[in-house]
Amino acid sequence: MSPRTPEKFEEIREATKQKIMGVALELFANDGYYPTPISKIAKQAGISKGLMYNYFESKEDLLKAIILHGIESLMDFFDPNHVGILTKEELIHFIKQMVKTIKEHVVYYRLYFSLMAQTPVLKLFENELWAMFEPFFKTLYEYFEREGYEDPQAEVYFFQSMLDGVGMTYVSDPDNYPIDAVEKKIISMYSKKC
């Protein structure tokens, strides 16, 4: 058997890291962040507790990686050409992708929304989260201002609150919440100029 190449080693390392994050996501979402010990995550991921620390410095570091990875994935759909100027088509695309992402990753969003209501946990990664959201809010504000909305700042908060509300309500009852109909309504609202 030949020794592993650095590329193969990195591939295995990344796969293990993703497995740990997936197991932790499920446990944090279902059992809660504080009650879930690192030993349980390691056991379910099929590694030793000591090896966990080769991937993540702490349970806080693991949670931060999970949350920030999910937000980064969603933000990839916002201003996809990264020019800092949002078009109506890009806004509509973002709404569609956000709904699709929430539907595909219910467990992640159940965890995300539960953490947003837990101030001590939120403080663990609020600086990184704000750094990710600040350009989002700025670009949205400029878009609403260009489109002639009466109060662009209020529109930014309304838009963000509406999407968060849709997400929270959907993940609490995905079998009964009419998310596709709600998505159409939101798109209809933002397809028209106010």
Q: How far is 41 from 39, CA to CA, in rounded Å?
A: 5
- CATH (residue range 1-56): 1.10.10.60
- Evaluate whether 177 touches 170 at the Cβ level (below 8 Å): yes
Name the fold adopted by 59-191.
Tetracycline Repressor; domain 2 (1.10.357)
Residues of the chain with CATH 1.10.10.60: 1-56
Question: Residue 3: pLDDT above 70?
Answer: no
- Positive or negative: CA dihedral 35, 110, 115, 52: positive
List, in sequence order, the alpha helices (H) in the chain: 6-31, 38-45, 49-55, 59-75, 88-104, 106-116, 119-122, 126-146, 152-172, 179-191
Neighbours of 68 (CB within 10 A): 15
Residues of the chain with CATH 1.10.357: 59-191
**Mean pLDDT of the region 156-168:** 96
| DSSP string of 18-47, one letter each residue | HHHHHHHHHHHHHH-TTT--HHHHHHHHTS
Q: Name the percent of the chain lying above pLDDT 70.
A: 97
pLDDT at 193: 60
- Evaluate whether 63 touches 33 at the Cβ level (below 8 Å): yes
Q: From residue 84, give the alpha-carbon distance in Å to each of 76, 136, 142, 166, 194.
A: 13, 9, 9, 26, 22
Q: How far is 171 from 98, CA to CA, in rounded Å?
A: 13
* Structure tokens belonging to residue 7: 């590329």
Which value, in Å, is the radius of gyration of the alpha carbons in the chain? 19
**What pLDDT, in 10s, does the model give residues 13-30?**
889 999 999 999 999 999
pLDDT at 76: 87
**What pLDDT, in 10s, does the model give residues 55-102?**
999 999 999 999 999 999 888 888 888 788 899 999 999 999 999 999
pLDDT at 46: 93
